[in-house]
Structures are given as C-alpha cells and as structure tokens.
Amino acid sequence: MRLRLMEATVECLVELGWAGTSTTVVSQRAGVSRGAQLHHFPSKQDLVVAAVGHLSERRREDMAKSAADLPEHGRTRAVLDVLAAQFVSPVFFAALELWVAARTDAELRKAVGPLERRVGRETHAFAVELLGIDEAKGDNRALVQATLDLVRGLGLAASLSDDSKRRSVVLDAWATVLDDQLETS
C-alpha cells in the first residue's frame, strides 16, 4: 500500500505538477482510503519526499542493469546515454517539481536537501564506476561533476520540448571531450 501510494504520487507529480498534486488526488489514484493514506504519510510533504526517495532507489537499480550492457567500443558515449536517461525521464521531472517547490518552502527544503545530496553522491560514484576511471587523477573529478551538471541541464531542456536530436549531438561532442581529457590509468 505504501508502494502504491508512492507510485501514484510520482505519476501525479509528472502529470499534474506540484500544485496539482494533493493527498486526496493521490489516494484516489492509488485506490487507497484517506485514512490509510494519512496513516502511512501524514502530510503531502511526507508523501512526496518518500516517493521521490523511493524512485531514486529504483533509478539506481535501473542504472546498475544498464551498466551490464555497455559495449567495449564507444563505451564513453554509451555511459553518457545511461546517465542522460536518468535525467531525461519522468522520474527527473517528478524530482524537478519537488526541487523547485523546495526552493521557496523552507520546511520542504529541509527534507529535500539531504535527499538531493544523497542522490547526487550516488550518481557521481556510479558515473565514476561506469567510466572506469580513478577520480583522484588530473581533472577527472571535476570532469565527472561537469558531466552530471550537463545531463541535469539537458534534462531541464527536455522537460519543455522534445530535444532528443540536439541532445544526441551534444553528447557525441561531450564523449569526444571525455575520451580526450579524462586521465585513465
């Protein structure tokens, strides 16, 4: 039931945005009584933070799966696709609703800040692993951070319109840069 509520919350955030997501709408969509919903998640904030946290876990599992299929040849470009897919996605759009709402809501920011930092650290570690680099070498660490800022920016661009052609060209160029600039062991 917790799971159903969390998944309905993400659907609502993606389709209706922050303002359109209410505990009432979520309970209805999940087919869960108001009482049960309030028992599991007393407020909209509890529900939304739990839902986005839950999704980040699922996202991590998805990333781990896609990592298994990376090609030898053109690996960097394939890694960029795996990373970009995490940001050009409904999950990111749901998180974006939460982040933007948290910017002007101090209570919500207290809950979202730690979640965002944790997801950021995990995604960074994952990128380092996929790229197969030692991040202590040269500018590697900063280049991985730049890569994640890039895909975050691409995710935001994709939230308004289909941007896939442009994105593909940008990621091609970025892969060339990384292959050239990352220091490998």
Positions in the binding site for a second copy (CB under 8 A) = 15-20, 93, 96-97, 99-105, 109, 112-113, 116, 139, 142-143, 145-146, 148-157, 159-161, 166, 169-170, 172-174, 176-177, 180-181
User: What is the rounded distance in angstroms from the CA atom of residue 28 to the CA atom of residue 168?
Assistant: 39
- Buried (b) or exposed (e) across 72-102, using 16+ Cβ within 10 A? eeeebbbbbbbbbbbbbbebbbbbbbbbebb
User: What is the rounded distance in angstroms from the CA atom of residue 143 to the CA atom of residue 15?
Assistant: 34
Question: In the bound complex, what is the minimum distance in angstroms from residue 123's beta carbon to a second copy?
Answer: 12
Whose Cβ is closer to a second copy: residue 93's or residue 126's?
93
Whose Cβ is closer to a second copy: residue 46's or residue 163's?
163
Question: In the bound complex, what is the minimum distance in angstroms from residue 152's beta carbon to a second copy?
Answer: 4
Sign, CA dihedral 6-9-11-13, equals negative
Q: How many CA atoms lie within 13 A of 11 on its CB side?
A: 13
Closest Cα partner for 78 from 153, 145, 152, 168? Answer: 168
Q: Are residues 178 and 147 in contact, defined by beta-carbon separation less than 8 angstroms?
A: yes
Whose Cβ is closer to a second copy: residue 37's or residue 147's?
147
Question: In the bound complex, what is the minimum distance in angstroms from residue 143's beta carbon to a second copy?
Answer: 6
A 10 A CB-CB count for 68 gives 6
Whose Cβ is closer to a second copy: residue 39's or residue 103's?
103
Question: In the bound complex, what is the minimum distance in angstroms from residue 182's beta carbon to a second copy?
Answer: 10
Whose Cβ is closer to a second copy: residue 89's or residue 145's?
145
Question: In the bound complex, what is the minimum distance in angstroms from residue 15's beta carbon to a second copy?
Answer: 7
Please tell me what DSSP assigns to residue 163: -
